[in-house]
Amino acid sequence: MAEERNGINAPLAGVQQELISAHFLLLRRILVKSARAAFSGLQPENRMEQRVVFTLYRMEEARVSELASMLGNDVAQVSRALASLRKDGLAQRERQRDPYTLTPKGVVLGQELDAVAKRREEELLRGLSPVEIFELAGLMIKLQSRAAQILADEMALAKSEEPGEEGPGTLTDTPNRVQAAIINIANIITRSATASFKRQTGVSNFEWRVLVNAASRPSISFMGLVEHVDADKAQVSRTLDSLASAGLVNRVKDATSGQVKIELTEEGQRVYGVMRDDALRRNVIFAGWLKPAQRGRLQGYLDLLIRNTLEMEGVEDRAPPE
């Protein structure tokens, strides 16, 4: 049981194991989780504010819209973070239309964040040769381009169905670190999947994760579901309430064990099938251009990155370098 729980593909159920895109989403989840411990102790501790400082440090200056695009967050979130950073004397701009820059105090924080990020990048890429890293970077540049095209297509469909609705812009900048590229690609994949699922079934991205696990692990228990989707019990419970109200899942009490099991209804199976087929369609556009040998090497790289990231999650409690 522990082996299944800790295996590379354990969090990826059913069709997700076939999707290159799902491996990027899993990597992002683990990286974000380990980052919480890695960057703790640096002020401010708010992760959104830290990400803004780090991005400004790398870019030297940027406007709100540029930061939102780079970070994959909406303008309102970035604006709130910048307001807090200005109040703390970490970010500045002279006039309303000027780009933001870091204050000397902000630059010091940026240097500290960059030191942690560099260490994490080295740990993430452990076991890859320079040639393999070079190939991986090239593959991810093309994958990001494909992911951005899928998102643009989804936004076009959304606008044609809902006149006047403004879709989010695509991310066009290429990060110069593998970890940042993974987050970037995963953010674009999530946005396109969310738009597609909403358009076709009205189901959210997290609801899709719950449905995948319920479909691929028949009669899974509530706690088993919590473990496999890597979320807190309250979020999973609320999601199950929503799915049950929509007639997509049933909670069934096992007569022998007394445990509550989660099962898809007939309508749930139909909706899951629609989303599964759409996920496979988008994955063909995303990664179908890879030749078999390329795909095999990419899968090997991603498996290694996932193993390294899982190890990072267990050791990130040590202090960042000076």
29-33, 69-73, 138-142, 311-315: the lowest-pLDDT one: 311-315
As a whole number, mean pLDDT of residues 152-164 equals 71
Partner residues linked to 220 by β-bridges: 262
Per-residue pLDDT tens digits for 224-251: 888 888 788 899 999 999 999 999 999 8
Is the model's pTM score more than 0.85? no
On the question of pLDDT at 166 being above 50, the answer is no
Tokens 């002279």 belong to 94
pLDDT at 161: 54
pLDDT at 307: 92
**pLDDT tier at 15 (50, 70, 90 boundaries)?**
confident
- Contact status, residue 247 vs residue 240, Cβ threshold 8 Å: no
How would DSSP label each residue in 199-267?
Answer: HHT---HHHHHHHHHHHHSTTEEHHHHHHHHT--HHHHHHHHHHHHHTTSEEEEE-TTT--EEEEE-HH
As a whole number, mean pLDDT of residues 176-193 equals 88
On the question of pLDDT at 165 being above 70, the answer is no
Higher pLDDT among residues 104 and 42, named by residue: 104
**pLDDT tier at 171 (50, 70, 90 boundaries)?**
very low
**pLDDT tier at 49 (50, 70, 90 boundaries)?**
very high
As a whole number, mean pLDDT of residues 88-101 equals 92
Integer angstrom CA distances of residue 203 from 107, 254, 296, 307: 42, 27, 32, 31
**pLDDT tier at 172 (50, 70, 90 boundaries)?**
very low
| Those residues with Cβ within 8 angstroms of residue 295's Cβ, 6 or more apart along the chain or in another chain | 20, 287
What are the residue ranges spanned by the domains of the chain?
13-203+274-315
pLDDT at 78: 92
On the question of pLDDT at 116 being above 80, the answer is yes
**Structure tokens belonging to residue 38:** 């890695």
Number of helices (H), then strands (E), belonging to the chain: the values are: 13, 5
Higher pLDDT among residues 170 and 98, named by residue: 98
**pLDDT tier at 163 (50, 70, 90 boundaries)?**
very low
pLDDT at 71: 80
Q: Which fold has domain 13-203+274-315?
A: Arc Repressor Mutant, subunit A (1.10.10)
